[in-house]
Structure 1
Amino acid sequence: MREKEASPGQETAGGEGRRTRRHDPRRRERVLDAALDVLARDGVAGITHRKVAARADVPLGSVTYHFASLTELCARAFARYVQQRITEYGALLAEVTSREELIDVLVDQVREVPSRHRSAILGFELRLAALRDPALRALTQEWSRSSREALARLTGPETAARLDALLEGMIMHTLLSTEREPREVTRATIVQTLGRASGSGT
């Protein structure tokens, strides 16, 4: 059975004392965001209900009330993350109107990985988890399909598939590299994969 959520004024799990809380309609979403923070910091192997509760600043019973198992919590958190990334990436590419703009956007996606460290780490945590849990592969497939569709609007489906795979590899390389690759090298690689500009004679 699921543990009932602590009501205002009740003692929190672990005897932490009495805390009165107002109605919190976004508590479930805050728990999921906290779970993503823990996943980014500790990975799937390190997440616990208690860590998530502490991160979200909610009673432990609130987490177990909404998510009976860690498997469910991780799946829901990753689903939230994927939808956020799909929305962000789609909006980013929707503003692109030329080949040069697309190249600049894609170069920035690789170059700015350190500033988007949490998001990049979560992406690879999801992929690693999906290798062991086939149920999560629907999320990775949804993400790949959506990103390729967004790219295909500007490049065509075959080029979009190549670019999508290239970008994943380059982002992983950037995360793990101890030396920053020159921007011109990143740009040249993307340009080569993108292919000849329409109407170009070279």
Structure 2
Amino acid sequence: MSDHARPRRHDPQRRDRIIDACLDVIAEHGVAGTSHRRVAAAADVPLGSMTYHFEGMDALLREAFTRYADQVAARAERRMAAATTLEEALDAFTANIDQDVFGTQRDLIITQELYTLAARRPEYRDITSAWMARTRATLAPFVDPDTAVMLDAMNEGLSLHRALHTSPAGAALVREALVRLARHP
């Protein structure tokens, strides 16, 4: 090694930091405003790390959105895991809608950016489809598959309504909507 060569910095968490920073940049600037340069700056890594760890922006976006969807799905799974009856499942699902899905403005924006990207670019729909499948699987012990689809759709719609409406429905109305769907013959 020559006297002028810099030693490589050992940074085993660099790839994970880049993915997490990408989500932060998406939350602040949207997918359209997300660039390698912005993500590298947010992750505090050299710009060259971006191409070392990811083939391109699409690969980074896929990893970031997949991580985000996995985290949100895992929250729903944890909340639903304690349910042993339909009533407990509906209570847990209500809490998921009321507290977890768009718990922060950051979550709302990242989710909407993923939905928009999946709407424009079908190759991203595998991420949203896997997320929905995991949500529906939490309902499977309590309702039939069609009802699970309807409850998951209600989850998406009520979550958006709560996040974007100036006078959103309260948790009691959310619970009532879920009960009506779950108990419909």
TM-score after normalising by structure 2: 0.86
Q: Report the more deviating stretch, 133-142 or 82-91.
A: 82-91
Deviations 1:32-58 (A, max 9, x none): 011011112221111011111111111
For residue 196 of structure 1, report the CA deviation from its aligned partner. Answer: 5.6
Q: Does 1:85 align with 2:72?
A: yes
For residue 137 of structure 1, report the CA deviation from its aligned partner. Answer: 1.2
The 3-state SS of whatever aligns with 2:166 is: coil
Query: Which residue does the alignment assign to 1:99?
Result: 86
Give the whole-Å Cα distance in 1 for the aligned partners of 2:54 and 2:157.
Answer: 33
Is the Cα–Cα contact under 8 Å of residues 31 and 52 in structure 1 kept in the other structure? yes
Query: Which residue does the alignment assign to 1:166?
Result: 154
Number of equivalenced pairs: 180
Give the whole-Å Cα distance in 2 for the aligned partners of 1:169 and 1:143.
Answer: 15
Query: Which residue does the alignment assign to 1:191?
Result: 179
Q: Could you tell me which amino acid in structure 1 is paired with residue 112 of structure 2?
A: F
Deviations 1:152-171 (A, max 9, x none): 12222121110000110011
Structure 2 gap segments, 5+ residues each: none
Deviations 1:118-176 (A, max 9, x none): 23332222121011212111111111122112211222212111000011001111111
Query: Which residue does the alignment assign to 1:36?
Result: 23
Is the Cα–Cα contact under 8 Å of residues 79 and 139 in structure 1 kept in the other structure? yes
Query: Which residue does the alignment assign to 1:68?
Result: 55
Give the whole-Å Cα distance in 2 for the aligned partners of 1:81 and 1:68.
Answer: 20
For residue 22 of structure 1, report the CA deviation from its aligned partner. Answer: 4.5
For residue 114 of structure 1, report the CA deviation from its aligned partner. Answer: 5.3
Query: Which residue does the alignment assign to 1:138?
Result: 126
Structure 1 gap segments, 5+ residues each: 1-8, 11-19, 198-202
- In angstroms, what is the RMSD of aligned CA positions? 2.2
Give the whole-Å Cα distance in 2 for the aligned partners of 1:21 and 1:52.
Answer: 21
Q: Match for 1:56 among 43, 63, 72?
A: 43
For residue 87 of structure 1, report the CA deviation from its aligned partner. Answer: 2.6
Structure 1 runs of 4+ aligned residues shifted over 4 Å read none
For residue 84 of structure 1, report the CA deviation from its aligned partner. Answer: 2.3
Largest Rg, 1 or 2: 1
Distance 1:114 1:90, change over 3 A: closer
Distance 1:167 1:32, change over 3 A: same
Query: Which residue does the alignment assign to 1:150?
Result: 138
Is the Cα–Cα contact under 8 Å of residues 152 and 159 in structure 1 kept in the other structure? no
